[in-house]
Structure 1
Amino acid sequence: MNMHTTVRRCPLDTTDKEIIKALAEGRSRKDIAFERHVSESAICQRIQSASKMLRIPRKDAALVAVAFRNGWVS
């Protein structure tokens, strides 16, 4: 076992985490946009930005998996 365990800090802000959590709950981008009173393209841009920060493919499932694996959303 490595004595120097590294804990990754979450680069996502609260809004990003809320969007990812909504995706994890099965809500569509359109529904998330409606609930947040923003355009669907704004949600898509947030997801794309979060994917870039995490250096993962732009697939919702991959984004959700990384966020849950690292404990950034529950």
Structure 2
Amino acid sequence: MFRRREAVPFTFVADADRFRSNVEPPPRLRPSTSQLAGRVLVGLTVVGGLVGSLLFGVPALAADQTPAQTQQSEAAHGH
């Protein structure tokens, strides 16, 4: 068995580096004022929700034992 060797023209590779298309993508549309205001409001809402969840969540997750001690002391005073 023999392999047939064919000449591979590498000129197309060199031409591909220099080739520039005359077709350009359309220019990006600038968002309107109302779209910018909507994006800002959505961003502020998300950030406010995260900050609010931290404000309410961090104290709830604190390892403070005062509620358990007050329940025990109330039960002790009741008897």
Same fold (TM over 0.5): no
TM-score, scaled to structure 1: 0.24
TM-score, scaled to structure 2: 0.23
